[in-house]
């Protein structure tokens, strides 16, 4: 067991270091050893929190964050098929993306991984997603939640377009909205009529569950 714990720590270190090949290799080994996929995902989330803190302290630059994000993404691709989420137990369907004008996908990637590992069916639209695309995808995918990442202050007003389009299509009762990212807050929800705000990935999981239970 101690060897597996050491491998999990190595996986975390590889993600923090942005070592894509090592992270993927360790993820493959952990899965072959029968380690719980959710435990591996938790460890990767922990690593990304370390990366985020390093970035905030200016110990890491954008290039370092991008490398860590790529390492996590590749490792997660290995782990995802092993996540023990049975269709009957899927909480709901979430459309997620970074809002138009936002090209940084790190936070969104972490949230998408957290939601998947918690039993949600996630449709990731990527970055620079228009309000129209969010709503169109929610309709086509019959999603119950639209999760929007916003890290650029100037793009916050686009949230109004998302809400207006949901109202126009009479979807506000069936499709809930949640936002997160450096450019938004609880106040943003009140200003634009968004249903919920999440301060981080795990808070998003909790908030989305609450939205679907209400």
What is the per-residue pLDDT across 102-147, written as a single tens digit (0 to 9) for each? 987 877 887 887 788 778 889 999 999 999 999 999 999 999 999 9
Residue 88 predicted with pLDDT over 70: no
Q: 2-82: what fold?
A: 1.10.1240
pLDDT at residue number 85: 53
Distances (CA, A) of 81 to 64, 85, 95: 27, 9, 19
Which fold is adopted by the domain 87-213? Answer: Rossmann fold (3.40.50)
Q: How confident is the model at residue 46 (pLDDT cuts 50, 70, 90)?
A: confident
pLDDT score, position 122: 93
Q: Spell out the alpha helix ranges (H) of the chain.
A: 2-17, 20-32, 37-56, 62-79, 106-117, 131-141, 158-168, 186-192, 201-213
Which tops the pLDDT comparison, 170 or 108? 170
Structure tokens of 135? 């709503």
Q: Taking the domains of the chain in order of start, what are their residue ranges?
A: 2-82, 87-213
Neighbours of 177 (CB within 10 A): 24
What is the CB-side half-sphere exposure of residue 125 using CA atoms within 13 A? 26
Query: Could you give the percent of the chain with pLDDT greater than 90?
Result: 62
Is the pLDDT assigned to residue 86 strictly greater than 60? no
Q: What is the pLDDT of residue 126?
A: 93
pLDDT value at position 202?
A: 77
Band of the pLDDT at 211, cuts 50, 70, 90?
A: very high
């Amino acid at each position: 067991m101690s060897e597996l714990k050491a491998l999990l720590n190595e996986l975390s270190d590889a993600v923090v270091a942005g070592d894509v090949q090592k992270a993927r290799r360790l993820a493959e080994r952990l899965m072959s050893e029968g380690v719980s996929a959710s435990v591996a995902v938790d460890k990767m989330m922990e690593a990304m929190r370390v990366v985020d803190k390093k970035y905030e302290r200016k110990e890491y630059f954008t290039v370092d964050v991008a490398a860590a994000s790529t390492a996590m993404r590749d490792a997660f691709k290995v782990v995802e098929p092993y996540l023990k989420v049975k269709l009957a137990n899927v909480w709901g369907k979430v459309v997620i993306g970074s809002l138009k004008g936002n090209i940084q996908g790190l936070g969104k990637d972490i949230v998408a991984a957290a939601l998947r590992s918690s039993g949600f069916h996630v449709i990731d639209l990527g970055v620079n997603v228009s309000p129209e695309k969010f709503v169109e995808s929610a309709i086509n995918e019959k999603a119950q939640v639209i999760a929007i990442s916003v890290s650029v202050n100037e793009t916050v007003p686009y949230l109004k377009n998302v809400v207006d389009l949901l109202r126009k299509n009479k979807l506000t009762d069936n499709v809930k909205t949640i936002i997160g990212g450096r450019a938004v807050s609880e106040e943003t929800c009140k200003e634009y009529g968004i249903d919920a705000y999440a301060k981080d990935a795990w808070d998003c999981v909790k908030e989305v569950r609450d939205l679907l239970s209400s």
